[in-house]
């Protein structure tokens, strides 16, 4: 007899997280519909990801190009896939045409390669600029002081459209990095750089999404709270 897998925990987790997102939004006077709940799918089997899509998830976040290539065809087409992981320029060609947005643009050389590939595909690729808000040595992301210059340069590329900012703050209970990111997002919007659409602040994960929403996040990226602890092989 074949065992049916029970993925009902995903449905329960999703309902609980959606509720917590809504509550966090209302608490600070924001419309819950302004906040996108993205499912982060690294190491998660496609049938479990599809279960999340059945529950109503419409955005998936992928971290690794190779893993995404092996799962892409198996996903329900109802969800939009964004690339959120660190990206090497030589892998860009596998993503263009296959992802709606790239969250991890943190250097001009990467933006130029995205521009080159997007031009070849005849599309304009939506991207976010990733900021290293904690100024951590080991982390990717542009340093906050360098953001205006990078934004100007990337905005000038014809086949790339900057739609906002993304960050992975240092793991701490203190909300100072989230607040710093909120200020940076507002300051960056106020620059009114031509040909940009600064509408997305991708910030907040399983451990801090409520605090991130209080600090203006418009997109939260949830992995373990939705799918359970990740198992790396
Ligand atoms: C893994 C990951 C997440 C989700 O992390 P959780 O703590 O499991 O919710 C969000 N964003 C990025 C860029 C990630 O790599």
Distance 209 CA to ligand 1 centre (A): 11
- Per-residue model confidence (pLDDT) at position 42: 96
Q: Which of 104, 223, 231 to mutate to test the pocket of ligand 1 (most atoms within 8 A of CB)?
A: 223
Q: How confident is the model at residue 4 (pLDDT cuts 50, 70, 90)?
A: low
Q: Which of 221, 222, 231 to mutate to test the pocket of ligand 1 (most atoms within 8 A of CB)?
A: 221
Distance 1 CA to ligand 1 centre (A): 37
CA distance 68 to 156: 29
Mean pLDDT value of segment 35-60: 97
**Which residue puts its alpha carbon closest to atom 7 of ligand 1?**
206
Residues with Cβ within 6 A of ligand 1? 40, 42, 63, 84-85, 168, 205-207, 221-225
Q: Taking the model in full, what pTM does it have?
A: 0.96
The encoded tokens of residue 99 equal 């992802």
Q: Are 103 and 162 in contact (CB under 8 A)?
A: no
* Residue-wise pLDDT tens digits, 116-157: 999 999 999 999 999 999 999 989 999 999 999 999 999 999
**Which residue puts its alpha carbon closest to atom 10 of ligand 1?**
221
Distance 41 CA to ligand 1 centre (A): 9
Percent pLDDT > 90 in the chain is 92
For 108-131, letters b (16+ CB in 10 Å) and e give eebbbbbbbbbbeeeeebbbbbbb
**Which residue puts its alpha carbon closest to atom 5 of ligand 1?**
223
Q: How confident is the model at residue 233 (pLDDT cuts 50, 70, 90)?
A: low
Instruction: Specify the ligand 1 atom closest to the Cα of 103.
Output: 13
DSSP states of 99-125 as a string? -SEEEEE-SHHHHHHHHHHHHHHT--E
Q: What share of the chain is helix, strand, coil (3-state, %, to 5)?
A: 45, 20, 40
CA distance 5 to 45: 12
CA distance 102 to 125: 8
Checking if the pLDDT of 2 tops 70, the result is no
Q: Count the neighbouring beta carbons within 10 Å of the beta carbon of residue 151.
A: 19
């Amino acid at each position: 007899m074949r065992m049916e897998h029970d993925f009902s925990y995903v449905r329960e987790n999703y309902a609980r997280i959606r509720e917590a997102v809504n509550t966090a939004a209302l608490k600070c006077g924001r419309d819950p519909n302004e906040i996108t709940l993205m499912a982060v799918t690294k190491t998660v089997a496609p049938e479990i990801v599809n279960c999340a899509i059945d529950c109503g998830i419409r955005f998936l976040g992928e971290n690794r190009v190779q893993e995404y290539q092996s799962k892409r065809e198996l996903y329900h087409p109802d969800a939009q896939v964004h690339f959120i992981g660190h990206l090497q320029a030589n892998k860009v060609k596998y993503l263009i045409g296959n992802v709606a947005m790239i969250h991890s643009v943190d250097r001009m050389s990467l933006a130029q390669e995205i521009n080159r590939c997007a031009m070849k595909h005849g599309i304009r690729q939506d991207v976010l600029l990733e900021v290293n808000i904690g100024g951590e040595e080991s982390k990717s992301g542009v340093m906050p002081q360098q953001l205006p210059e990078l934004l100007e340069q990337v905005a000038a590329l014809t086949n790339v459209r900057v739609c906002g900012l993304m960050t992975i703050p240092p793991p701490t209970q203190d909300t100072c990095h989230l607040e710093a990111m909120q200020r940076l997002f507002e300051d960056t919007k106020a620059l009114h750089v031509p040909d940009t659409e600064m509408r997305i602040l991708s910030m907040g994960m399983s451990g801090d999404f409520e605090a991130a929403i209080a600090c203006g996040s418009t997109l939260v990226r949830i992995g373990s709270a939705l799918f359970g602890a990740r198992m790396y092989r």
